[in-house]
A and B are shown apart, each in its own frame.
Chain A
Amino acid sequence: MLTIKNLHASVEEGQEILKGLNLEVKAGEVHAIMGPNGSGKSTLASVLAGKDGYEVTEGSVDFDGVDLLDLEAEDRAKEGMFLAFQYPVEIPGVSNVNFLRTAMNEIREYRNEDKMSAKDFLAKVKEASNLVELDNKLASRAVNVGFSGGEKKRNEIFQMAMLEPKLAILDETDSGLDIDALRIVSEGVNKLRSKDNAVILITHYQRLLEYIKPDFVHVLSAGKIIKTGGKELALELEEKGYDWINEEIAQ
């Protein structure tokens, strides 16, 4: 589904953050990308989602046969990519449902599908908000305004449930979540998993991986994936920290 080859990316000021990253994600898989601060985890998420301010200097990203890097951010979403933000943005005056309706209509138009009826849309809102135990009232409130940290993260997964992406990238979705919210969010993500979609979990800590079981764990360091393993790798990282990998590689 997603093939990243030798990806190099810099911030606009010129500093190279990603230095030859390779990653292959197939449908039905869950990949965890772990790494210390400054290793390039969030940059990877931003580059894949198409955020301004980054320059890809080398490499390619193929997303189900489409050259992802050639697409505008909105078209990446329309092709089925979803980024759950580390810091969801507050948007005063724009209601959650209004914005999602706009998004879904634009996505359906792009895919030459009919508009969703108001009835079906509302049914889906209800279903998706139940999934992450998000109060129905929050769905009609302004996007993330006055939401608690946990509500913001649940709102991200709510949106994911609405948009049903092929590939979801969850950027530090576990950060700032208490144990209850972590369970709710994780269960939501697990229910959305299928053999046709894939998830990339970007995380600092292993605790999220107790709830969402990854098929692969990658360690990102200094802009490259330096080690790949199964879910036991996450436990090892938790126990020994990141330094041992560098030492291991040095040997």
Chain B
Amino acid sequence: MELVLDNKVLEFVSDFKKPETISKVRKQALDALNGMDFPTTRVEDWKYTRVGKYVKKKYKQVQATANVEDYTIADLNAHQLVFVNGYYDESLSTIKEDDAISVHKIEELDEEYYSDIVDGTSENVFSLINKAYQTGGVFIQVKKNKKANFPIHFLHVLEGEEVIANARHFVHMETGSKAEVVATYHSNNSENSFTNVVLEGHVESNASLTINKLQSEAKNVFHISNELFVQDESSNFLINTITTGALMTRNGLEVIVEGENCHTEMNGAYLGTEKQHMDNHTLIDQLYSNCTSSESYKGVMDGKSVGVFNGKVIVRQDAQKIAAYQSNKNILLSKTASVNSKPELEIYADDVRCSHGSTIGELDEDAIFYLRARGISAASAKQLLVAGFIGDVLDKVENEALRTNIDELFLNDFGWKF
């Protein structure tokens, strides 16, 4: 029987390879996609980010190889897991001797356990496309009361034009464990290609997970990520999201805090030029008492770039004594750049300390003159001020090798020294 393709989502996925085995998760995602459409700007969550023209295009799922040396981070000394166009490439990956972690293919994730964990969390059309058509990824377990001996580097490369990379990962932090994930995203000759990644995880009680995400894909690709984490009591979760790449980026990040005494921290730096669009969409859902969360996103937008920040913190009725802090600050370097900032607090409990703030401004002309009057050129003065503005977010990246890599990226991309 010929399927009539009047559904844009089904049209979008029509050339994707049908998975060989239909797992429960795939089946649910496939079923859900049948009745879905891509969001328009009439949908509140996508008000400032228009995906229409990107989802009208066709993408292919093709395996490829990549020159990984171009993307490795010097001195990171990490387990390096390589994903090219969304396919896990074991031959390019290096897993070190480490009794604290085990690395599996995503297919080996226990679906019963998984469904239990993510029960009740929100999905969107992109995360569902990923889960229905994912081509690979890893499931990491960090063992009980152990600390991973090395950072775990998820190295993603888009290779070639008009490809879609549907990598899917899950990180399971067992009770009392600790680990750092470094997720980097790169591209090569990849005009009109699409990263559509899902990274999920479960941080069990007393466990601590740090994620440093660095996305520096070329300014002709599209990047949508859905990151979802569930925290159990007394756990720590920290993510630093640094975005300089892609023509259109949507970082969807959601943390459900399902236990008392947790700390959740999200920091982000986004630096846009030309016609880049960068959207950070975050949610922290506080369900239990005595938790703290801190969120700080800073943007520097030049050219005709557009920044979007939509961060929401929900404090449920039973979640008392929550301290939640949220801040989004932006600097526009040109008259044609813009930022849409929408911080949101939804509080149902009555004994909480929450604050949020948002600023959009320009570089301080008086400060530029002050620096110039000391002999610093206008260009260096602006660079010093930008570095001073965004530096405290970058300082959240404690991994020195990665920080050096970020500094080099900024120097090469923008001529900015930190």
Contacts and interface: CB of A to CB of B under 8 A. Distances in A.
Interface of A: 49-52, 72-74, 76-78, 82-83, 85, 88-94, 98-100, 102-104, 106-107, 110, 142-143, 159, 163
Given A89-B367, A93-B389, A99 B384 contact: yes
B385 A94 contact: yes
Contacts of B375: 74, 77-78, 103-104, 106-107, 110, 163
Q: Which of A49, A91, A106 has the most CB of B within 10 A?
A: A91
Nearest to B395: A93
Interface string B367-396: 101111111111011001101111110000
Contacts of A88: 370
Contacts of A107: 375
Contact of B370 (A85, A98, A100): A85
Contact of A102 (B365, B376, B389, B392): B376
A99 B374 contact: yes
Contacts of A143: 370
B364 interface: yes
B376 A142 contact: no
B372 A102 contact: no
30 contacts: A49-B373, A50-B373, A51-B373, A52-B365, A73-B373, A74-B378, A74-B381, A77-B372, A78-B375, A82-B374, A89-B367, A89-B369, A89-B370, A91-B370, A91-B371, A92-B389, A93-B387, A93-B389, A93-B392, A94-B384, A94-B385, A98-B384, A99-B371, A99-B376, A99-B384, A102-B380, A104-B375, A110-B375, A143-B370, A163-B374
Given A102-B384, A106-B380, A142-B388, A51 B374 contact: no
Given A110-B375, A159-B374, A73 B388 contact: no
A51 B367 CA distance: 11
B367 to A, nearest CB: 5
Nearest to A162: B374
Contacts of A99: 371, 374, 376, 384
A73 B373 CA distance: 6
Contacts of A102: 376, 380, 384
Given A72-B372, A77-B373, A85-B370, 13 more contacts: A73-B372, A74-B375, A74-B377, A76-B373, A77-B375, A78-B375, A82-B374, A83-B373, A91-B384, A92-B388, A93-B392, A99-B376, A163-B375
A107 B377 CA distance: 10
Nearest to B381: A74
Contacts of A104: 375
B97 interface: no
A52 B381 CA distance: 15
B377 A91 contact: no
A99 B380 CA distance: 10
